[in-house]
Amino acid sequence: MANFHRVHSNSSTIILIAITLMDIVLANITYWCIFDIEKILVPQEIITDSVSGALYVTMAAIISLSFYSTIIHVRRINITSVILRVTRLTLVQTLAIVVIFHLALHKPDHIVSFAISYAIIYFAITLLARMLERILLNKIRRSGHNLRSVVFVGSDPANLDIYLQMKELSSIGYDVKGYYSNNEIKTAPERFKKLGTRSELVKAMREGCTPFTSDILMCSLSTTDDRDDVNTIIHYCDKHIIQFYLVPRIYSNLSLHLSPVAFGDYTLFTNHTNNINRLDNRIVKRTFDLVFSSIACIFLLPIIPVVWAFIRIQSPGPLFFKQERTGMDGKTFLLYKFRSMHVNKDADRIQATKDDPRKFAFGDFMRKTNIDELPQFINVLKGDMSIVGPRPHMLLHTEMYSAVISQYMVRHFSKPGITGWAQVTGYRGETKELWQMEERVKRDIWYNENWSFKLDLEIIFRTAWSVIHPDKHAY
């Protein structure tokens, strides 16, 4: 099977989470500083209950960070930008503190004096922390860690400009492999290496080869005659989960569905902007996943013996069905379900059908009511899956459909889910025709690009309704 795992590092997520946690710690340090010198700064009654006060401050910090989290990639970050973002963060956090403390303590006069003291101290220590974070991040990236690999296509001067900005702004963390072009970039420095011709690259892509591995591809082609090549490159990036950017100066000559993204002095165009992958959205989604799946697993414990008894009576064999599926970034993971079929050798290659002879009676009931999916809450706790997301497919289906649906692998930019937008909008069960899978893929991509917590809740409620009123396609 083809290797669908794209070059990717989890270090960015780790760094962002560490910085977010540090911001919450800084908020609490500010609070305790005021608490220790409360007699000078504010009346004692405003923070008599120190533990409650710390909890209120933590809530305010989380609220403000959802608006102004730290940016470690893409944008040019200078001292002015940092000061402005810290100022906005401080104002939003202080406002949140005023509202929360007012609702909890009902002492508006005292809250104002506390908030002013808090804003001054928090701004100072957070600005200092941001400077130290930048210095540390620069050192980490200069040592070759936390980098995104980049390949350029085309000889347009814009490619060279962007390359030079990447090298000048080392803190944004890009590792440029080189460029493909039919022509040399004459003024390019020696380190900006030519990897081959564009013609060779496009030919290799069309023949199904893997000419390079990278996280990002930046394309700068100059004429409308290159449209077919650009489409080939985009399809290749979609299939191999590579982020594609098109340099703007030639964008007007091409009819492609791309979204603008700011980079330094340029506006680039990317094939997919995943709203679901913003840090604040990831934190909200993962927090909900952990809380919801933890509760679900507790309720699952007394159900397991009952399910085991029915399965044991009707079909001797293991309680759980375990199967390798394709997950986020094309990585393989082991999915858990209650076994709903007799043990058979075709489980990894043949999809369940309406009157599938492999199913036993209780297994058929579990599939119609989604009970067989409950063990996937374990996958959610492990971090392989989310409550809501594109449904994970068998490895054989991933290989098969990725060969005939150009954007099939794009659905893997996010974690797979127990339920998804495609499933609650009529595309559940067996896919007899290719168009049915194409519609699923469209809905999965739409979900990734339009994610909101409200949308997740809607999908969960619609899934719950389908348990009460089983879908005719559920088998």
pLDDT of residue 167: 82
pLDDT of residue 253: 42
In-domain check, residue 414 = yes
Residue 149 backbone phi and psi in degrees, to 5: -80, 140
Whether 332 and 212 share a structural domain: no
Q: 48-63: buried (b, 16+ CB within 10 Å) or exposed (e) per residue?
A: eeeeebbebbeebbbb
Whether 130 and 112 share a structural domain: yes
Report the relative pairing of strands 194-196 and 174-180 from DSSP bridges. parallel
In-domain check, residue 1 = no
Model confidence pLDDT, tens digit, residues 440-458: 999 999 999 889 888 999 9
Whether 326 and 437 share a structural domain: yes
Q: Which of 226, 241, 271 delimits the end of a domain? A: 271
Structural domain containing residue 114: 11-142
In-domain check, residue 264 = yes
Whether 247 and 110 share a structural domain: no
In-domain check, residue 474 = no
Whether 264 and 339 share a structural domain: no
Whether 357 and 461 share a structural domain: yes
- Tokens 């009123």 belong to 469
Whether 228 and 247 share a structural domain: yes
Domain count, the chain: 3
pLDDT of residue 6: 45
| Burial of residue 395, with CB atoms counted within 10 A of its CB: 0-12 exposed, 13-18 middle, 19 or more buried | middle
Residues of the chain with pLDDT under 70: 1-12, 35-51, 66-78, 105-110, 170-171, 222-225, 248-258, 346-355, 470-475
Q: Which residues contact 419 (CB under 8 A, 6 or more apart)?
A: 370, 373, 387, 388, 391, 459, 460, 463
Q: Which of 239, 271, 303 delimits the end of a domain? A: 271
Cα separation, 62 vs 280, whole angstroms: 9
Whether 320 and 404 share a structural domain: yes
Whether 461 and 410 share a structural domain: yes
Cα separation, 4 vs 258, whole angstroms: 23
Whether 413 and 464 share a structural domain: yes
pLDDT of residue 126: 86
pLDDT of residue 349: 66
In-domain check, residue 3 = no
